[in-house]
């Protein structure tokens, strides 16, 4: 590895030493400009909070917010803190990202949103600078078209599609995998350049390069799943770079080619050596990629289960129609890169209507995506073995390859469109735009100034749009309302707005948005539960019971438990004791893991009805099921005390102290019961504990 880095360093030094003072000045200015653009476009996000998915991934995730959680747990949990083997897990395995978030928590001393957002901006600046390096490798060492390199990097730095990635802390997963992928690509590139420029042990140099890139691929994959495409990008780049050698070898081996035997043998030998190392590198990277993929699939145990509402297009039965729907989504992703005004934080439910017929006018949009790909491929064939073909090829590679895992092509994903997933693919798009700029400038040199002005205007427009969109991400209410402008049929957006109102105790506003949610999507169980909660807080228990009953009827067995608890409580408030008791017994029968809580609730119902002995039996049953929780113990101690069965109450209290994990509440109850009696146990025992 040391040998490789020396070769890479020498290769870079040779290039740097040959740069003129003017070239040095230009590159320094480019670095300053790209850094400034990336920072200015996203500076608004510093004042952001934890929003949307941030709460689940950080605030509620013990792997991040609890520094006492063992590091080993991070490697068996998913991104949201659940066990990766759990059926409820989304199977998003990103331990490197979680470690990074946890380190930030440790360094910042708390879950301070501002610190995390500053780190996000820093990551984006770093990635933008690496894009400058990547585009420079694609354009080559020539002084020609340096503006193309700057334009591609600048567009990446300010593109509004990145606002979700930079403004949300969970976007660090995308930025980290991109950072490792781009670093791997750059090291691979300089490793290939070292092969051309240095003599010595070429095999060892190749192995060292591949080991470094393999390590970065692992880090990228464990930052986010799309990182597994790093070696695919490097392999395709290798093929594109050595296309002329491959073509030349076939021509020279062909018997009709007229070369002298000596010259022909020498050239064949040189090209065969090049092809041998090319095949060696590709087979090595394919093997590592397959090993990573196998490990990742085995880790999941089975594919995650997604609801139809999350990605309705993937549930279309007809294969042809499903392909048409996917193609339309690909086109829409491309359109968002070209015209990033139509941005939304959530594209699920009926946000994008399903294409139920190939004769829908939107099929033309789906078709136009493939026409674009064919046209770019045709340009590659037309200019094969030229610098232009290589640039177009690499723009397609960076555009399509990192997007493939999120394309539904190989397996179903849990979203329709996720703007975060376009973070690295947008680099390929920016390169393509920059190539178009260079081609137009070459073909119309007299309009060079107009083209430069257009490029500056486009960059400025992107900065303004990024500012607008970043402001949407400062506040949940504003974010979801902005989403409704794009996706007015998305029930989940109405639901999220309603939850926000409910959290701020604005029950009437929450009720209106929950009602709109069920109007848009009548099977939205959580919305009916939300309506029940609103009416319960407004003390309209009859309406609350009505909505909780609907939620119970349409919910699945797995989701019904919480709804039943709410229904039991409302029936209790309405003094429908028999129905409440029946509801509790249903919970005991169907959800044995929650039987402790159910028996405790049943005891409360019995006690309210005056059936004290039944209440005592239910409390004792709850204690039998879970002796470590103090609630049932407290009720029994207090109940026996009020019956003047003081000795029994004391015995139960002493038994409880040996079982409960948090005895403070129990001790306080005992102290209050005996504070007027100066009971010796109430004074001495509490002090001992």
229-233-237 Cα angle (round to 5): 170
Contact, 352 vs 345, CB < 8 A? no
- The pLDDT tens digits of the residues spanning 291-333 come to 999 998 888 777 777 888 888 888 888 899 999 999 999 999 9
535-538-540 Cα angle (round to 5): 60
Asked whether residue 411 is assigned to any structural domain, the reply reads yes
Residues 6 or more apart in contact with residue 110 via CB below 8 angstroms? none
Q: Is 408 left (phi over 0), alpha (psi -120 to 50) or beta?
A: left
Q: How far apart are CA 482 and CA 497, in angstroms?
A: 11
Asked whether residue 415 is assigned to any structural domain, the reply reads yes
Q: Does 20 score more than 70 pLDDT?
A: no
User: Which of 414, 439, 454 is the last residue before a domain boundary?
Assistant: 454
Asked whether residue 320 is assigned to any structural domain, the reply reads yes
Contact, 420 vs 171, CB < 8 A? yes
What percent of the chain is predicted at pLDDT more than 90? 39
Residues 6 or more apart in contact with residue 579 via CB below 8 angstroms? 571
Contact, 526 vs 547, CB < 8 A? no
Q: What is the 3-state secondary structure (H, E, C) of 519-588?
A: HHCCCCHHHHHHHHHHHHHCCCHHHHHHHHHHHHHHCCCCCHHHHHHHHHHHHHHCCCHHHHHHHHHHHH
Asked whether residue 317 is assigned to any structural domain, the reply reads yes
Contact, 269 vs 259, CB < 8 A? no
Confidence of residue 496 (pLDDT cuts 50, 70, 90): very high
Q: How far apart are CA 443 and CA 244, in angstroms?
A: 26
Q: Can you give the pLDDT at residue 267?
A: 62
What's the whole-model pTM score? Answer: 0.84
Residues 6 or more apart in contact with residue 61 via CB below 8 angstroms? 80, 81, 98
Q: How far apart are CA 397 and CA 138, in angstroms?
A: 12
Q: Can you give the pLDDT at residue 678?
A: 42
Q: Which one-letter DSSP state was computed for residue 77?
A: B
**Taking the CB of residue 227, how many other CB atoms lie within 10 A of it?**
30
Asked whether residue 644 is assigned to any structural domain, the reply reads yes
Contact, 89 vs 202, CB < 8 A? no
Q: Can you give the pLDDT at residue 161?
A: 96
Instruction: Find where tokens 């136009």 sit.
Output: 368
Confidence of residue 145 (pLDDT cuts 50, 70, 90): low
The torsion angle over the Cα atoms of residues 65, 66, 70 and 76, rounded to 10 degrees, is -40
Q: How far apart are CA 309 and CA 329, in angstroms?
A: 16
- The pLDDT tens digits of the residues spanning 509-534 come to 999 999 999 999 999 999 999 999 99
Report helix, strand or coil for 612. Answer: helix
Q: How far apart are CA 523 and CA 546, in angstroms?
A: 15
Structure tokens at 514: 């929950």
Q: Can you give the pLDDT at residue 247?
A: 67
Residues 6 or more apart in contact with residue 192 via CB below 8 angstroms? 209, 238, 241
E runs forming strands in 247-388:
none
Q: Does 263 score more than 60 pLDDT?
A: no
User: Which of 394, 427, 454 is the last residue before a domain boundary?
Assistant: 454
Give the gyration radius of the chain's Cα atoms.
32
Asked whether residue 244 is assigned to any structural domain, the reply reads no
5-19, 93-107, 347-361, 366-380: which has the minimum mean pLDDT?
A: 5-19
Residues 6 or more apart in contact with residue 556 via CB below 8 angstroms? none
Q: Can you give the pLDDT at residue 529?
A: 92
Structure tokens at 238: 């290798």
Q: Can you give the pLDDT at residue 688?
A: 33
Angle between helices 595-608 and 630-642 (to 10 degrees): 20
Contact, 388 vs 280, CB < 8 A? no
**Taking the CB of residue 156, how many other CB atoms lie within 10 A of it?**
31
What phi and psi, each to the nearest 5 degrees, are found at residue 556?
Answer: -80, 165
Using alpha carbons, select from 486, 489, 511 the residue that is nearest to residue 497.
Answer: 511
Q: Can you give the pLDDT at residue 3?
A: 47
Q: How far apart are CA 227 and CA 333, in angstroms?
A: 19
Cα separations (Å) of 165 from 92, 422, 672?
Answer: 17, 9, 54
Asked whether residue 416 is assigned to any structural domain, the reply reads yes
Using alpha carbons, select from 355, 474, 361 the residue that is nearest to residue 416.
Answer: 355
Contact, 96 vs 219, CB < 8 A? yes
Confidence of residue 602 (pLDDT cuts 50, 70, 90): confident
Report the pLDDT averaged over residues 174-198: 88
Q: Does 132 score more than 90 pLDDT?
A: yes
More confidently predicted of 8 and 569: 569
Cα separations (Å) of 313 from 368, 418, 472?
Answer: 19, 14, 27
Asked whether residue 664 is assigned to any structural domain, the reply reads yes
DSSP string, 643-673: TT-HHHHHHHHHHHHTT-S--HHHHHHHHHH
Q: Does 22 score more than 50 pLDDT?
A: yes
Q: How far apart are CA 584 and CA 572, in angstroms?
A: 11
Cα separations (Å) of 61 from 51, 107, 174, 341?
Answer: 14, 18, 19, 33
End-to-end alpha-carbon separation of the chain, Å?
Answer: 60
Handedness of CA 176, 392, 396, 372 (dihedral sign): positive
Q: How far apart are CA 297 and CA 410, in angstroms?
A: 12
Structure tokens at 360: 């829908």
Q: Which one-letter DSSP state was computed for residue 384?
A: T
Number of domains in the chain: 2
Structure tokens at 432: 């393509």
Host domain of residue 362: 312-454
Q: Taking every pair of C-alpha atoms in the chain, what is the biggest distance, in angstroms? A: 116
116-120, 442-446, 490-494, 592-596: which has the minimum mean pLDDT?
A: 592-596
Confidence of residue 249 (pLDDT cuts 50, 70, 90): low
Residues 6 or more apart in contact with residue 557 via CB below 8 angstroms? 590
Q: How far apart are CA 601 and CA 326, in angstroms?
A: 49
- The pLDDT tens digits of the residues spanning 452-476 come to 999 999 999 999 999 999 999 998 8
Report the pLDDT averaged over residues 55-73: 86
User: Which of 414, 429, 454 is the last residue before a domain boundary?
Assistant: 454
- What is the chain's mean pLDDT, rounded? 84
Q: How far apart are CA 33 and CA 10, in angstroms?
A: 27
């Amino acid at each position: 590895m040391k040998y490789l880095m020396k070769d890479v360093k020498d290769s870079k030094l040779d290039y740097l030493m040959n740069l003129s003072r003017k070239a040095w000045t230009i590159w320094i200015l480019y670095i300053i400009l790209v850094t400034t653009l990336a920072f200015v476009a996203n500076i608004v996000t510093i004042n952001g909070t934890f929003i949307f998915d941030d709460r689940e991934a950080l605030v509620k995730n013990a792997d991040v917010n609890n520094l006492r959680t063992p590091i080993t747990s991070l490697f068996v949990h998913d991104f949201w803190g659940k066990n990766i083997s759990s059926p409820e897990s989304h199977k998003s395995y990103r331990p490197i990202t979680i470690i990074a978030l946890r380190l930030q928590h440790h360094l910042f001393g708390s879950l301070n949103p501002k610190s995390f957002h500053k780190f996000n901006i820093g990551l984006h600046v770093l990635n933008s600078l690496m894009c400058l390096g990547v585009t420079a490798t694609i354009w080559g060492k020539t002084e020609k078209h340096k503006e193309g390199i700057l334009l591609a990097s600048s567009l990446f730095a300010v593109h509004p599609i990145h606002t979700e990635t930079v403004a949300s802390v969970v976007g660090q997963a995308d930025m980290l995998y991109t950072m490792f992928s781009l670093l791997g690509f750059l090291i691979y590139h300089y490793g290939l350049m070292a092969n051309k420029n240095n003599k010595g042990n070429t095999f060892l140099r190749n192995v060292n390069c591949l080991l470094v890139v393999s390590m970065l691929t692992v880090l990228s994959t464990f930052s986010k799943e799309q990182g597994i495409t790093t070696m695919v990008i490097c392999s395709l780049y290798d093929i594109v770079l050595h296309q002329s050698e491959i073509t030349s070898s076939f021509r020279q081996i062909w018997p009709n080619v007229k070369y002298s035997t000596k010259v022909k043998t020498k050239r064949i030998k040189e090209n065969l050596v090049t092809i041998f190392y090319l095949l060696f590198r590709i087979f090595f990277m394919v093997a590592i990629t397959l090993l990573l993929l196998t490990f990742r699939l085995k880790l999941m145990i089975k594919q995650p289960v997604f609801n139809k509402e999350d990605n309705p297009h993937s549930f279309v039965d007809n294969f042809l129609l499903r392909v048409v729907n996917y193609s339309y989504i690909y086109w829409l992703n491309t359109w968002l890169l070209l015209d990033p005004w139509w941005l939304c934080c959530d594209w699920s439910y009926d946000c994008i209507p399903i294409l139920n017929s190939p004769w829908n006018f939107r099929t033309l949009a789906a078709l136009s995506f493939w026409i674009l790909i064919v046209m770019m491929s045709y340009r590659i064939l037309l200019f094969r073995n030229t610098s232009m073909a290589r640039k177009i090829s690499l723009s397609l590679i960076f555009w399509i390859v990192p997007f493939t895992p999120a394309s539904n092509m190989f397996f179903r994903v849990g979203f329709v469109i996720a703007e975060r997933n376009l973070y690295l693919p947008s680099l390929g798009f920016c390169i393509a735009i920059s190539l178009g700029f260079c081609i137009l400038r070459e073909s119309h040199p007299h309009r060079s100034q107009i083209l430069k002005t257009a490029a500056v205007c486009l960059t400025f427009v992107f900065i303004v749009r990024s500012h607008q969109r970043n402001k949407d991400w400062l506040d949940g209410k504003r974010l979801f309302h902005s989403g409704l402008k794009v996706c007015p049929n998305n029930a989940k957006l109405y639901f999220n707005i309603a939850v926000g109102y409910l959290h701020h105790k604005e029950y009437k506003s929450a009720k209106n948005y929950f009602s709109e949610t069920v109007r848009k999507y009548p099977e939205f169980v959580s919305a009916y539960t939300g309506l029940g909660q609103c009416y319960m807080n407004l003390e309209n228990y009859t309406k609350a019971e009505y909505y909780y009953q609907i939620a119970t009827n349409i919910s699945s067995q797995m989701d019904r438990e919480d709804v039943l608890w709410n229904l039991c409580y409302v029936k209790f408030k309405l003094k429908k004791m028999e129905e409440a008791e029946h509801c509790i017994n249903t919970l005991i029968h169907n959800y044995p893991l929650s039987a402790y809580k159910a028996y405790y609730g049943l005891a409360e119902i019995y006690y309210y009805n005056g059936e004290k002995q039944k209440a005592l039996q239910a409390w004792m049953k709850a204690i039998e099921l879970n002796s470590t929780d103090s609630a049932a113990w407290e009720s029994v101690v207090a109940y026996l005390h009020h019956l003047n069965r003081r000795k029994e109450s004391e015995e139960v209290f002493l038994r409880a102290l040996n079982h409960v994990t948090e005895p403070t509440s129990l001790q306080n109850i005992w102290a209050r019961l005996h504070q007027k009696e100066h009971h010796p146990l109430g004074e001495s025992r509490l002090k001992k504990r």
